[in-house]
Amino acid sequence: MPELPEVQTIVNELDRKIKGKTIKEVVVDAARSALPSPKILIAKIKGQKIKAVKRRGKMIDIDLGGDHNILIHLKMTGQLVYVGKTGKQVSGGHPIGTVGELPNKFSHVIIKFTDGSVLYFNDIRKFGWVKYATNIERDIARQKYGLEPFDKEYTLENFKAIIKRSPKKKIKQLLMDQEKISGIGNIYADESLFIVHVRPTRTAGSLKEKEIKDLFLAIPKLLKFAISKGGTTADNYVRTDGSKGQMVNYLKVYGRGGKKCKRCGGTVNKIRLGGRGTHYCPDCQK
């Protein structure tokens, strides 16, 4: 699943591509992908103009102005494909082989604009969704996400409170809990813990004051750097502008199981933690 930097990269690129465009037509191929229902989604967003594309956690928020919004979550296998009026295809999210002919059997929601460009929401497993929401419904959806690393509420005091409320939870699993801290997934949990020399298997309550502060500072710094590199291109993510995210070249520990630690020269371990592949260096992460 794309994490905060990858979703932010999609948001930045979509904002440039579709802001100001007017929705001419909406086609829904799979009812479960269009919420609250295909009929409502189509009726509410047709004729609306894109004001801005934003993000909350891993959710894409398209502002249509007034009391109208489109919320999109790619989940595990969702993909957005933008086709400009010249016919050039660019995609972001989970790669589905070569995009090929569009629409295809995975194209579940299609948004056509008056200038001839099209935005396709494709999803192999139909876990993701495109949802119409009023401002109140959007705000309720946003409230399900925890502390946002780039918001003013992201303070050391609030971060400490989250740590202290779940002392027995493994620190990596706490970082990935979207109701506690939004946007961090497998990649950036491993990377942030490596930066501060903390093992992902430690309980949150075992962290010392300095470790908590270091982790608090490391998370937004790491995420901002990842955004500047266009995110991490892995098995489940490519960029909407057709290029690959470059953050994969800067990862220190994620995906390096069995390889030499870039910091101390030890061997990086890969284990399963909460059902997720987890990477750390047993020599320099304590």
pLDDT tens per residue across span 230-278? 666 444 444 444 445 567 788 999 999 999 999 999 999 999 999 999 9
Residue type, 63: D
Distances, alpha carbon 42 to alpha carbons 23, 38, 85, 284, in Å: 10, 6, 22, 54
Please report which confidence band the pLDDT of residue 98 belongs to, taking 50, 70 and 90 as the band edges. Answer: low
Tokens of 281: 């260096």
58 is known as an active-site residue: yes
pLDDT of residue 17: 92
Would you list the DSSP string of 29-71?
Answer: S-GGGEES-HHHHHHHHTT-B--EEEEETTEEEEE-STT-EEE
CATH 3.40.50.1820 holds for 156-280: no
The answer to whether 183 and 223 are in contact (CB under 8 A) is yes
Catalytic residue among 2, 38, 149, 200: 2
Burial status of residue 92 (CB atoms within 10 A of its CB: 0-12, 13-18, 19 or more) = buried
Interatomic CA distance for residues 231 and 74, integer angstroms = 15
Residue 276 known to be catalytic = yes
Tokens of 93: 């999210």
> Which one from 58, 170, 172, 199 is the annotated catalytic residue?
58
If one looks up domain 4-143 in CATH, what number appears? 3.20.190.10
Residues of the chain with CATH 3.20.190.10: 4-143
pLDDT at 238: 43
Distance CA 54, CA 218 (A): 23
Residue 238, beta-bridge partner list: 93
Point out the catalytic residue in the list 3, 6, 13, 191.
Answer: 3
**pTM (two decimals):** 0.85
